[in-house]
Structure 1
């Protein structure tokens, strides 16, 4: 009579182990991502699919846009750093700044779209979730994108670089830094 009880408990234990195995092995899923500064410090040659170009520009994959490696208002140096203080402008001021640069240079310079900002987001690390080998002065902040909120006129879209999240509820009158892109496919004249 004791034997059936042992078999019953053995089967229960086996089922419990099978059920708990996925739970135990998924514990790593809840681990916090690594800090990007440490992540890329140990990978100085990692460019995440970017090609570095002269003049402080970088191209991602087969895109026809070049990214300024430093936030607007700062300048890329040969020492692979950015000098100066990033501009923090309202949404309209940032758009006007890009348009003025575009008009003066004769090139299509603009703020990146949310999709373009998402394309440079690093999934393996945070704080900021951007490759610091490519964008050496990327800070954790809300960076303006070129997009406005389609249903609310007083807010626009910004990209929060801590984890790489977009929000289209950022008041347009708040000053934020922004990146610039050069659109090689678009001619101004």
Structure 2
């Protein structure tokens, strides 16, 4: 019985630790009003005019549960570049890897675990995402944005990191 209680407490503690936490009296940096749904699985960020995939690469949008399902895939930087190129080769819609400033525009700086608007980007992995912006000081590293706490860092190109594609909102 004592072991069962310990296991249940541990599960509750893990659930509590992984829930998004936000400052209560702060002004949101990515409120719902700055986003607009384009399709079920794409979102327009109105201030930048960029259209984002709602889910990380490897996940798919589930309209019934209104969340991203499946396991997000981690790729090396080279794999991420190839993925973006091949993904758009069939669609010809301009999908690409975002630069660091574009990627950072999605971060909700008043929240952690994850630091993103979860209404529009649910189930976002709480880790780093690739940008297309290389480090100026080290050709073997690239800028990433962590959706754990909205921080920026440079990582080795050989590391496995998450990816979310973006495209410019083109006129019809």
- TM-score, with normalisation over the residues of structure 1? 0.70
Matched with 1:53 is: 38
Which whole-Å CA distance do the structure 1 matches of 2:49 and 2:138 have between them?
A: 31
Which whole-Å CA distance do the structure 1 matches of 2:125 and 2:150 have between them?
A: 12
Once the two structures are superposed, the pairs formed by residues 78-89 of structure 1 within 5 Å of their partners are 78=63, 79-89=65-75
Give ranges in structure 2 of 5+ residues lacking alignment: 1-17, 23-30
Give how far 1:98 is off. Answer: 0.4
Give how far 1:92 is off. Answer: 0.7
Matched with 1:182 is: 167
Which whole-Å CA distance do the structure 2 matches of 1:38 and 1:151 have between them?
A: 34
Greater Cα radius of gyration, structure 1 or 2: 1
- TM-score, with normalisation over the residues of structure 2? 0.77
Q: 1:105-150 deviations in whole A, cap 9, x for unaligned?
A: 1110111111112211112211111111111011211111111112
Give ranges in structure 1 of 5+ residues lacking alignment: 1-34, 40-45
Pairs aligned (count): 146
Which whole-Å CA distance do the structure 2 matches of 1:98 and 1:137 have between them?
A: 21
Matched with 1:140 is: 126
Once the two structures are superposed, the pairs formed by residues 1-189 of structure 1 within 5 Å of their partners are 37=20, 39=22, 47=32, 49-78=34-63, 79-168=65-154, 170-185=155-170
